[in-house]
Amino acid sequence: MAQRTQEIGIRVALGATSREILGLVLFGSLKPVVAGLVVGVIAALGLTRLLSGLVYGVSTTDPITFLALPALLGVVAFLSGLFPAIRATRVDPLEALRVD
Protein backbone atom coordinates (compact mmCIF):
# COMPACT_ATOMS: atom_id res chain seq x y z
CA MET A 1 0.00 0.00 0.00
CA ALA A 2 2.82 2.38 0.84
CA GLN A 3 4.32 1.96 -2.63
CA ARG A 4 1.00 2.79 -4.29
CA THR A 5 0.09 5.86 -2.21
CA GLN A 6 0.54 8.26 -5.13
CA GLU A 7 -1.53 6.09 -7.45
CA ILE A 8 -4.30 5.85 -4.88
CA GLY A 9 -4.12 9.60 -4.26
CA ILE A 10 -4.53 10.27 -7.98
CA ARG A 11 -7.47 7.87 -8.20
CA VAL A 12 -9.16 9.57 -5.23
CA ALA A 13 -8.47 13.00 -6.72
CA LEU A 14 -10.09 11.87 -9.97
CA GLY A 15 -13.20 10.74 -8.13
CA ALA A 16 -12.72 7.12 -7.10
CA THR A 17 -14.94 6.12 -4.22
CA SER A 18 -13.64 4.48 -1.09
CA ARG A 19 -15.40 1.27 -2.14
CA GLU A 20 -13.47 1.25 -5.44
CA ILE A 21 -10.17 1.85 -3.65
CA LEU A 22 -10.97 -0.89 -1.14
CA GLY A 23 -11.71 -3.35 -3.96
CA LEU A 24 -8.60 -2.34 -5.90
CA VAL A 25 -6.23 -2.92 -3.01
CA LEU A 26 -7.98 -5.93 -1.51
CA PHE A 27 -8.46 -7.91 -4.70
CA GLY A 28 -5.00 -6.94 -5.89
CA SER A 29 -3.54 -8.54 -2.79
CA LEU A 30 -5.72 -11.66 -3.12
CA LYS A 31 -4.82 -12.53 -6.72
CA PRO A 32 -1.48 -14.19 -5.87
CA VAL A 33 -3.06 -15.92 -2.86
CA VAL A 34 -5.78 -17.50 -4.97
CA ALA A 35 -3.23 -18.56 -7.59
CA GLY A 36 -1.05 -20.10 -4.88
CA LEU A 37 -3.96 -21.93 -3.32
CA VAL A 38 -5.02 -23.39 -6.68
CA VAL A 39 -1.48 -24.51 -7.52
CA GLY A 40 -1.00 -25.88 -4.00
CA VAL A 41 -4.18 -27.94 -4.03
CA ILE A 42 -3.40 -29.31 -7.49
CA ALA A 43 0.14 -30.19 -6.43
CA ALA A 44 -1.11 -31.79 -3.21
CA LEU A 45 -3.58 -33.91 -5.14
CA GLY A 46 -0.80 -34.89 -7.54
CA LEU A 47 1.50 -35.97 -4.71
CA THR A 48 -1.01 -38.11 -2.82
CA ARG A 49 0.52 -41.40 -3.95
CA LEU A 50 3.97 -40.31 -2.86
CA LEU A 51 2.69 -39.20 0.54
CA SER A 52 0.42 -42.19 1.17
CA GLY A 53 3.26 -44.14 2.82
CA LEU A 54 4.11 -41.28 5.16
CA VAL A 55 0.76 -40.73 6.85
CA TYR A 56 -0.98 -43.05 9.29
CA GLY A 57 -4.68 -43.18 10.00
CA VAL A 58 -5.64 -40.42 7.56
CA SER A 59 -6.38 -40.64 3.88
CA THR A 60 -4.10 -38.55 1.68
CA THR A 61 -7.21 -37.25 -0.07
CA ASP A 62 -9.07 -36.34 3.12
CA PRO A 63 -11.77 -33.89 1.97
CA ILE A 64 -11.80 -31.97 5.24
CA THR A 65 -8.09 -31.24 4.89
CA PHE A 66 -8.40 -30.25 1.25
CA LEU A 67 -11.26 -27.87 2.05
CA ALA A 68 -10.47 -26.56 5.53
CA LEU A 69 -6.81 -25.64 5.15
CA PRO A 70 -7.15 -23.64 1.90
CA ALA A 71 -10.23 -21.94 3.37
CA LEU A 72 -8.32 -21.05 6.54
CA LEU A 73 -5.39 -19.71 4.52
CA GLY A 74 -7.80 -17.75 2.35
CA VAL A 75 -9.43 -16.14 5.38
CA VAL A 76 -6.05 -15.22 6.87
CA ALA A 77 -4.93 -13.73 3.55
CA PHE A 78 -8.20 -11.80 3.24
CA LEU A 79 -7.81 -10.34 6.73
CA SER A 80 -4.15 -9.48 6.14
CA GLY A 81 -5.11 -7.61 2.97
CA LEU A 82 -8.17 -5.96 4.52
CA PHE A 83 -6.32 -3.71 6.95
CA PRO A 84 -4.03 -2.07 4.34
CA ALA A 85 -7.05 -1.75 2.05
CA ILE A 86 -9.00 0.08 4.73
CA ARG A 87 -5.99 2.31 5.34
CA ALA A 88 -5.83 3.02 1.60
CA THR A 89 -9.39 4.36 1.65
CA ARG A 90 -8.26 7.07 4.06
CA VAL A 91 -5.50 8.44 1.82
CA ASP A 92 -5.68 12.21 1.49
CA PRO A 93 -5.08 13.07 -2.19
CA LEU A 94 -3.14 16.26 -1.38
CA GLU A 95 -0.80 14.47 1.02
CA ALA A 96 -0.31 11.56 -1.40
CA LEU A 97 0.62 13.85 -4.28
CA ARG A 98 3.04 15.89 -2.14
CA VAL A 99 5.12 12.83 -1.20
CA ASP A 100 8.12 12.26 -3.49
Domain spans of the chain? Answer: 2-98
Q: Is 2 exposed, middle or buried (0-12, 13-18, 19+ CB in 10 A)?
A: exposed
Residue 51's alpha-carbon distances to 37, 44, 46, 93, 98, in angstroms, are: 19, 9, 10, 53, 55
User: Is a pLDDT exceeding 80 seen at residue 73?
Assistant: yes
Residue 58 gets which letter from DSSP?
Answer: S
Q: What is the pLDDT of residue 71?
A: 92
Question: What pLDDT digit, counting tens, does each position of 21-54 carry?
Answer: 899 999 988 999 999 999 998 998 888 888 877 8
Q: What is the pTM of this model?
A: 0.76
Cβ atoms < 10 Å from Cβ of 91? 21
Q: pLDDT class for 88, splitting at 50, 70, 90?
A: confident
Quick one: pLDDT band at residue 4, thresholds 50, 70, 90? confident
CA-CA-CA-CA torsion sign (76, 4, 8, 2): positive
Report the percentage of the chain scoring pLDDT > 90. 29
List Cα–Cα distances, 4 to 9, 20, 36, 52, 98, in angstroms. Answer: 9, 15, 23, 45, 13
